[in-house]
């Protein structure tokens, strides 16, 4: 069996996720959707431990992305680590890395 990669979240990715979840709590006046979305995002990033190449390559800097609903999880593989760089709303025009 292949070795598992360690998933490391950048401070910016953690802030992105917090902002997204707070947005949905305010919009829906409930935590239900935010909890479900958080679980989906965490599950997707956990899967990267075993399948780090699952995401689509998006640029020359070896950044990859996976999609959860319409949120892009931007990451890069470095040695045996998957670094989560940003969680980005795919409906926005351009991603800021």
- When pLDDT is averaged across residues 2-12 and rounded to a whole number, the result is 92
Mean pLDDT (the chain) is 92
Of the pLDDT bands very low, low, confident and very high (cuts 50, 70, 90), residue 19 is: very high
Report yes or no: 96 and 20 within 8 Å, Cβ to Cβ: no
Whole-number pLDDT of residue 87: 96
Report yes or no: 20 and 71 within 8 Å, Cβ to Cβ: yes
Strand partners, 71: 68, 89
- When pLDDT is averaged across residues 20-47 and rounded to a whole number, the result is 96
Q: Which CATH superfamily is domain 6-89 in?
A: RelE-like (3.30.2310.20)
């Amino acid at each position: 069996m292949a070795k598992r990669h360690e998933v490391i979240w950048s401070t910016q990715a953690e802030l992105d996720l917090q902002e997204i979840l707070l947005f949905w709590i305010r919009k829906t006046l409930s935590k239900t959707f935010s909890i479900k979305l958080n679980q989906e995002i965490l599950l997707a990033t956990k899967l990267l431990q075993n399948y780090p190449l699952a995401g689509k390559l998006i640029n020359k800097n070896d950044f990859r992305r996976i999609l959860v609903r319409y949120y892009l999880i931007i990451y890069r593989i470095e040695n045996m680590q998957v670094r989560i760089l940003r969680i980005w709303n795919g409906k926005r025009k351009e991603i800021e890395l």
